Amino acid sequence: MTAVAGKKSGSAPSVASTRRSMDWMALLRYALLLMFSALCLLPILILALTALKTEAQIFDTKWSWFFAPTMANFTAVVEEGNIVRNLNNSVIVSIAATVLTLVFGTLAAYGLARFDFIGRRSFGYATLLLRTIPPAVLAVPVFVIWAGWHINDTLFGVTLIYVALNLPFTIWLLYGFIEQLPEELEEAAAIDGCGPFGVFWRVVLPLLAPGMAAAAIFTFRLAWNEFILSFILTNRYTRTLPASISNYITDTGVEWGKISAAGVLIALPPLIFTFVAAKRIIAGLTAGAVKG
């Protein structure tokens, strides 16, 4: 229990002053939370508002909360060029990357956690180290290698690099979860006659659902949001949404209305995910770091 600041332990505060000070602290807490929340939400709100403004309203040097909204930017973005194609590409790549990462990652995490084999340490270390590779470091060689393998400008190529980028984190995350599962369950199933894969499939996987959900969200988030590698590895057929947003940064300035509208479209799925699955996300973030 946190003692109230300034009060020495041992002295029993009167009931009335405790309640007053506790109310005061609670109020402070709420105020902080509200303020912090407002700060978090404000820019996102600004993005949405800008998407609803006309060019004249945006270029007005007096920024305003109140204005007559217009859907013109959204209409323009949706009608323009290849937005449907880009959206499709984003969806395909994100889902494919998530599924593949989950499948391969879960398998690998289980293998790492439950078996001992030559190369286990190296694989484990590699997983930990490779988690930290910056996309910028990958940009040049992947650009060259993918072209050599003729998978640049393909959705497969983009998906592949996203899976590669996400596997280390996913493996690490799920490793932590598997670690915490009691082995007795698996041993019991093995005794019952399940082969090693059966144990994995029937006993471990269902228990891993929360971890897998967290991993899925993170993978989807990266695949959906990622800009720079997609920018480099796609052409007009395979471009994903974030890469296409750069078209609104023209030679002569930024088309703020349209780019905000496109930005809202891009931000929407992760925002929805967050509201639906915040608990999972937080569980994923804190897993492994916090030993319960």
Partner 1 sequence: MSSRVASHVPYVYIAPAALITLAGLLYPIVEATKLSFFDWGMGTPWESARFVGFEAFASVLSNPHVWTSVGITMAFVLISICVEMTLGIGLALLLEKPVRGMRIFRTIFVLPMMVAPICVGLVWRYIFDAQFGPLNHFLTSIGLAPQLWLADPLLAFLAIVVTDVWQWTAFVFIMVLAALQGVDASVTEASRIDGANTWQQIWLVKLPIIKPILIVTLLMRMIDGFRGLEVVYVMTFGGPGLSTELLSLHIYKAAFVSQQLGQASVLSILLLAIMTVLSLAILRTGNPLAARRK
Partner 2 sequence: MERRDFVKIAGATVFGAGLPFAGITAQDRYAKYRGQTIVINYPAHPHYDQAEKLFAEFTAETGIRIERDKLQYLRMKDRQVLEMGKPGGGDYDVISYVVMWKTEYVAKKLIEPMEPFFANAALADPAWDQRDIITGYWENITLVGGPMGYLPGPGAKPYGVPFGAETSVLGYRADLLQKHNLKPPATYDELLSACRLLKDKEGIGGLTSRGQTGHQVTAAWLMHLAPYGGLVYDSKWRAAFARPEGVRAAEVLREIVEMGPAGIPAYGFGEMQNAFLQGQSAFYLDTLAIFGPAQDPAKSKIAGKIGYAPHPMAARKAGMTGGFGLAIPRNSKNKEAAFLFIQWITSKQSDKKIALSGGNANRWSTVNDADLARKYPIETPVLREALKIADPNWRPLIPEWDHVSQQIIGQALPSIITGKSSAKSALEGVIGPAEDVVRKAGLLT
Q: Which of residues 261-290 bind partner 1 (CB under 8 A)?
A: 263, 266-267, 270-271, 273-275, 278-279, 281-282, 285-286, 288-290
How does strand 253-254 pair with strand 249-250? antiparallel
Work out how close the CB of 116 gets to partner 1 at its nearest, in angstroms, rounded to a whole number. 4
Q: Which residue of 13, 47, 48, 54 would you call a contact of partner 2, by CB under 8 A?
A: 54
Helices (H), 52-82: 55-59, 72-79
Rank residues 46 and 147 by Cβ distance to partner 2 and give the closer one: 147
Contact 247, 236 (CB under 8 A): no
Using CB under 8 A as the binding rule, whether residue 112 contacts partner 1 is answered as yes
Work out how close the CB of 14 gets to partner 1 at its nearest, in angstroms, rounded to a whole number. 19
Work out the angle between the directed axes of helices 256-286 and 72-79 (0-180°, nearest 10).
80
Work out the angle between the directed axes of helices 83-114 and 72-79 (0-180°, nearest 10).
80
Phi, psi angles (nearest 5°) of residue 250 = -90, 175
Select the binding partner of residue 88 from partner 2, partner 1, none (C-beta < 5 to 8 A, by kind): none
Q: Of the listed pieces 35-43, 68-76, 78-86, 202-210, which binds partner 1 according to CB under 8 A?
A: 35-43
Work out how close the CB of 225 gets to partner 2 at its nearest, in angstroms, rounded to a whole number. 18
Residue with tokens 């286990």: 120
Work out how close the CB of 235 gets to partner 2 at its nearest, in angstroms, rounded to a whole number. 6
Residue 186, beta-bridge partner list: none
How many chain residues touch partner 1 (CB under 8 A)? Answer: 120
Give the separation between CA 268 and CA 279, rounded to whole angstroms: 18
Rg of the chain, C-alpha, whole Å: 25
Opening angle at CA 292, ends 171 and 112, nearest 5: 25
Give the separation between CA 105 and CA 115, rounded to whole angstroms: 15
Contact 113, 175 (CB under 8 A): yes
Using CB under 8 A as the binding rule, whether residue 211 contacts partner 1 is answered as no
Q: Which residue of 235, 275, 289, 292 would you call a contact of partner 2, by CB under 8 A?
A: 235
Q: Which residue of 133, 188, 205, 209 would you call a contact of partner 1, by CB under 8 A?
A: 133
b/e per residue, 216-245, with b = 16+ CB within 10 A? bbbbbbbbbbbbebbbbbbeeebbbbbbbb
Using CB under 8 A as the binding rule, whether residue 256 contacts partner 1 is answered as yes
Pick left, alpha or beta for residue 14 (phi over 0 → left; psi -120 to 50 → alpha; otherwise beta).
Answer: beta
Rank residues 3 and 56 by Cβ distance to partner 2 and give the closer one: 56
Using CB under 8 A as the binding rule, whether residue 61 contacts partner 1 is answered as yes
Using CB under 8 A as the binding rule, whether residue 253 contacts partner 2 is answered as yes
Using CB under 8 A as the binding rule, whether residue 59 contacts partner 2 is answered as yes
Select the binding partner of residue 250 from partner 1, partner 2, none (C-beta < 5 to 8 A, by kind): partner 2
Footprint (CB under 8 A) of partner 2, residues 141-170:
147
Work out how close the CB of 152 gets to partner 2 at its nearest, in angstroms, rounded to a whole number. 8
Residue 250, beta-bridge partner list: 253
Q: Which residue of 11, 61, 64, 122 would you call a contact of partner 2, by CB under 8 A?
A: 61
Q: Which residues bind partner 2 (CB under 8 A)?
A: 54-56, 59, 61, 81, 147, 231, 235-236, 246-254
